Structure 1
Amino acid sequence: MHDQARHGGAYIRIHVTKQGFDPLTQRLRWSDLEQVLDTGPFPDEGPTTDDPILDGVSYSFQVTAPGRTGRHIVYAVWRAGHADQNYYMCSDVRFPGGAPDPTTPPPSPPAPNDGCTAAYTPPGQWTGVSRAR
């Protein structure tokens, strides 16, 4: 991870979906995640970059998520060390093994119908009104 503003961190917590979660057909919930790393506090020091635009420092952490195969979601929560600011990152990953990707995308889940509707009429096109020439 890269810290351009040199925030440091109260922690970075890495979560990975549990085996059996299907990111192609299921919506992600906290209960689908397992925390696999909590770095605890770390300073705003580390390897830097020569890129003048990127600037900052980079952090690297070893993460293990045993027993997983196939597609998963990795979800990270970074709490800045200087303030109560949280940053969230999400990645779609593939562990060795598991089923291959489907050849056609799965159907989209239907959107819930809460009874709200809206209609739009473009300006100058009033229904039931005729223009005089």
Structure 2
Amino acid sequence: MPARRKAVVAVLGATPLALTALAAAPAAAHGTMGDPVSRVSQCYAEGPESPKSAACRAAVAAGGTQALYDWNGIRIGDANGQHRTLIPDGKLCSANNEEFKGLDLPRADWPATRVSAGSYTFKYRVTAPHKGTFKVYVTRAGYDPAHSPAWSDLDLDHPVATATDPIASGGFYTFSGTLPERSGKQLLYAIWQRSDSPEAFYSCSDVTFGGRSGSGGTTSGSSPAPSASAPSDEQIEAGADKSTVEHHGHGDASTSADPTTAAVAANEPEAAGTSENLAETGADDSAPYLAIGGAAALALGAAALFASVRRRATGDGGRHGR
């Protein structure tokens, strides 16, 4: 086979490999509300294979167990602030993602965190910190918890918490807010819109008004639903290998002390040295982006080489013909 033809074959062979690398870049998951406990966190804490509460059993029956192992991946990659446009009523908790459809089930018995009106400290469990803004909304008075929430159920004009670029520590973003007067079962809806990407993350947290303000814990007294409880660090680490999304652990200055990120730090020695910079720039999932960029460059280079070889072959043919 002539050298030029071999070059063409090599180029054509490299191009699909480059495109395959583009498609194979891993998805990166980033977090969910930890306090008040989100629905997906609650069901994961109960155990994906055998949930204890009726609501979580129903969620698994509807959507399967994988959604719970992928607990930190309720997201829209190109949201860019267009949340109401992209997420229809009744699908807020899944962010219109079919994998998480079990979280949208209209039930009044979702396990709930007991809260009271007044100041509240929110804790957002994060596995890959990024710059961005958190907004937390509460349902309006009179909300019916037996129905899947719609946008009109939320008091969008008065978020109960707003935080821009909080610092991640110990595996959480922590920020303060104020809960209004409400009674009975309500829902808190959190949106984390990144500023270094159009990507956004969503979570639903069921709450029952009447507990200690700002604690997020349970108190004495009856409740229409079981009390919510967040997964432990050990549970999160134990289920990470069953997730279909990446569980980044860097970007947090306390990476080495956080059990949920220790495994990542052990496999990525450079993470500890660059964690603060990554948290500041939001560049913690640069590896997938670099892989995509490299694959794209390879594809473009292959196309350019093919064109060059073809021009040379055409030119040689013209000379031979004279």
| Pairwise TM-score range, normalised by the shorter structure | 0.5 to 0.7
Structure 1 residue 6, shift from structure 2 partner: 1.8
Q: What amino acid is the match of 2:172?
A: S
**2:50: which partner in 1?**
none
The answer to whether the 8 Å contact 2:168/2:174 transfers is: no
Decide which structure has greater strand share.
Answer: 1
CA distance in 1, matches of 2:162, 2:144: 24
Query: In structure 2, what is the equivalent of residue 87 of structure 1?
Result: 201
User: Could you list the runs of 4 or more consecutive aligned residues of structure 1 that deviate by over 4 angstroms after TM superposition?
Assistant: none
Using structure 2 for the length normalisation, give the TM-score: 0.26
2:147 is aligned with 1:33: no
What TM-score results when the alignment is normalised by the length of structure 1? Answer: 0.58
In structure 2, what is the Cα distance between the partners aligned to 1:14 and 1:42? 15
Structure 1: which amino acid aligns with 2:162? D
1:18 to 140, 144, 147: 140
Q: How many residues align?
A: 89
SS of 1:63's equivalent in the other structure is strand
Tell me which residue corresponds to 1:59: 173
Q: Is the CA contact 2:208–2:223 (under 8 Å) kept in the aligned structure 1?
A: no
Once the two structures are superposed, the pairs formed by residues 66-105 of structure 1 within 5 Å of their partners are: 66-96=180-210, 101=224
1:10-36 CA distance string (max 9 Å, x none): x10101101111112x33111111122
Deviations 1:23-51, CA, capped at 9 Å, x for gaps? 12x33111111122222x315x3323xxx
Report the AA paired with residue 160 of structure 2: V
What SS does structure 1 have at the residue aligned with 2:168? coil
RMSD over aligned CA atoms reads 2.3
Task: Report the Cα distance in structure 1 between the residues aligned to 2:180 and 2:140, rounded to whole angstroms.
Answer: 10
Residue identity in the other structure for 1:7: H
CA distance in 2, matches of 1:29, 1:95: 20
Hey, what's the Cα distance between the residues in 1 that align with 2:168 and 2:197? 20
Q: Which has the higher helix share?
A: 2
- Give the Cα–Cα distance (whole angstroms) in 2 for the partners of residues 93 and 100 of structure 1: 10
Q: Identity across aligned pairs (percent)? A: 34
Alpha carbons 2:129, 2:168 under 8 Å: kept: no
- In the alignment, the residues of structure 1 paired with residue 210 and residue 129 of structure 2 have an alpha-carbon distance, to the nearest angstrom, of 35
CA separation of 1:21 and 1:85: change in aligned 2, threshold 3 A: same
